[in-house]
C-alpha cells in the first residue's frame, strides 16, 4: 500500500491510520502490543495516531515500550501525536483544572515528553489537539519552527479547528491537515466549510471516530438505526461489510480523507483497508447521507 501526502511536500502517511488512544484499556503485555503494531504494518497501516493525553498520559509510553522490543520498526512507521489539552491527572500534578494551553512552553514540554514516551527522536506529525481561545498564532509558529529546525517535529497540523481558526494559524505556519470528526451521524464538516477549505487548499483531512465510536452499529436512537439499515443494505448489495461501507463513504469525498481506525482488532483494521478498493457512486453515498441527516437533499 502506497503512502499518501497530506499536502504537497507534507508528511506521507498510510491511507488508513491506526489509532492507539484506547491502548491503556487493552490489558496487553509489551509483546502483545508489538504484535498489534506488526500486524497493522502487515496490512499496510504504517501510521499510528497518538495524543499526549491518551490513557491519562499513559498510552504513548505503552506504545514506546512495545516499539523498544523491535526498534528497527521505527524507520518503517510514522508517528502522529497531539498536544494542547491539559487534563487534571496524577501524571500532571501541576494541572489545576482541565484547560487548553498552546503556549510555547507547553508545546515544547509536551513534545519532549512524547518523544521520551514513544522512545523516538522525532514526531512525523504534530497536531494542536483543540483550538485554544487564547491561541497566539505567531507564538505557535515560532515554536513549531524551532522544533522543526531541531528535527523533533517534521510536520505540523491541527485537529478540530474551524475554517477561520485554520486560516489564522495557516497564515503564520503551514498546516498539513485538520483532523476532524466525520461520519454519517456527524455531517457538519460537509456543510460548514471545513471540507470545502480542505479541498480548496489541497490538505487532506484526517478523520477521527470514523465509526462514531461504534454507534454506527450499536446506537439505538432513530438516526443510528437509520444509518445501520442503510449501511447494511449497501453492504449486502456490494458484497461487503457495513464497517467497510462506512469507511468507503468517508473516502468517497473529494477532499480525500485519511481515516483513523482505532481498534485493537486487526479484522477491524482490515475492514478499513478494504474500503480503499470499494468505490461508491454518488447515489449510494447520498443514500447513507440521507439516513444520517434524516431527510432528502433539498
Tell me what the mean pLDDT of segment 250-262 comes to: 98
DSSP string, 125-145: EEEE-S--TT--HHHHHHHHH
> Is the confidence at residue 269, as pLDDT, over 90?
yes
Predicted local distance difference test score (pLDDT) of residue 13: 98
pLDDT digits (tens, 9 = 90+) for 69-95: 999 999 999 999 999 999 999 999 999
**Mean pLDDT of the chain, nearest integer:** 98
Predicted local distance difference test score (pLDDT) of residue 1: 82
**Model-wide pTM > 0.85:** yes
Euclidean distance between CA atoms 248 and 192, whole angstroms: 22
* 64 pLDDT tier (thresholds 50, 70, 90): very high
Positions marked catalytic: 54
Tell me what the mean pLDDT of segment 146-162 comes to: 98
Predicted local distance difference test score (pLDDT) of residue 246: 98
> Which is nearest to 261 in space by CA: 22, 84, 66?
22
144 torsion bin: left (phi>0), alpha (psi -120 to 50), beta (else) = alpha
Neighbours of 109 (CB within 10 A): 14
pLDDT digits (tens, 9 = 90+) for 186-236: 999 999 999 999 999 999 999 999 999 999 999 999 999 999 999 999 999
Tell me what the mean pLDDT of segment 139-153 comes to: 98
Predicted local distance difference test score (pLDDT) of residue 146: 98
Q: Which residues of 168-189 are buried (b: 16+ CB within 10 A; e: fewer)?
A: ebbebbbbbbbbbbbbbbeeeb
Euclidean distance between CA atoms 264 and 134, whole angstroms: 36
* 278 pLDDT tier (thresholds 50, 70, 90): very high
> Is the confidence at residue 125, as pLDDT, over 90?
yes
C-alpha pair distances (Å), 269 with each of 79, 240, 261: 17, 14, 6
* 137 pLDDT tier (thresholds 50, 70, 90): very high
Where does 4-293 sit in CATH, by number? 3.20.20.100
Amino acid at each position: 500500500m502506497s503512502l499518501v501526502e497530506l499536502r504537497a511536500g507534507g508528511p506521507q502517511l498510510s491511507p488508513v491510520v491506526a489509532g492507539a488512544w484506547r491502548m491503556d484499556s487493552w490489558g496487553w503485555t509489551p509483546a502483545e502490543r508489538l504484535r498489534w503494531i506488526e500486524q497493522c504494518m502487515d496490512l499496510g497501516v504504517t501510521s499510528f495516531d497518538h495524543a499526549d493525553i491518551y490513557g491519562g498520559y499513559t498510552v504513548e509510553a505503552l506504545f514506546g515500550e512495545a516499539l523498544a522490543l523491535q526498534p528497527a520498526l521505527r524507520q518503517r512507521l510514522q508517528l502522529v501525536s497531539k498536544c494542547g489539552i491539559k487534563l487534571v491527572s496524577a501524571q500532571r500534578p501541576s494541572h489545576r483544572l482541565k484547560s487548553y494551553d498552546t503556549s510555547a512552553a507547553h508545546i515544547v514540554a509536551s513534545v519532549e515528553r512524547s518523544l521520551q514516551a514513544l522512545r523516538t527522536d522525532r514526531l512525523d506529525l504534530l497536531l494542536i489537539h483543540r483550538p485554544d481561545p487564547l491561541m497566539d498564532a505567531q507564538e505557535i509558529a515560532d515554536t513549531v519552527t524551532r522544533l522543526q529546525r531541531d528535527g523533533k517535529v517534521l510536520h505540523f497540523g491541527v485537529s478540530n479547528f474551524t475554517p477561520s481558526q485554520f486560516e489564522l494559524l495557516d497564515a503564520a505556519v503551514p498546516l498539513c491537515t485538520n483532523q476532524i470528526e466525520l461520519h454519517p451521524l456527524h455531517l457538519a464538516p460537509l456543510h460548514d466549510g471545513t471540507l470545502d477549505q480542505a479541498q480548496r487548499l489541497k490538505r487532506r483531512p484526517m478523520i477521527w471516530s470514523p465509526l462514531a465510536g461504534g454507534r454506527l452499529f450499536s446506537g439505538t436512537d432513530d438516526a443510528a438505526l437509520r444509518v445501520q439499515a442503510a449501511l447494511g443494505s449497501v453492504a449486502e448489495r456490494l458484497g461487503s461489510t457495513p464497517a467497510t461501507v462506512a469507511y468507503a463513504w468517508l473516502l468517497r469525498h473529494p477532499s480525500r480523507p485519511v481515516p483513523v481506525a482505532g481498534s485493537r482488532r486487526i479484522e477491524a483494521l482490515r475492514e478499513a483497508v478494504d474500503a480503499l478498493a470499494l468505490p461508491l457512486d454518488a447515489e449510494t453515498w447520498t443514500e447513507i447521507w440521507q439516513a444520517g441527516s434524516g431527510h432528502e437533499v433539498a
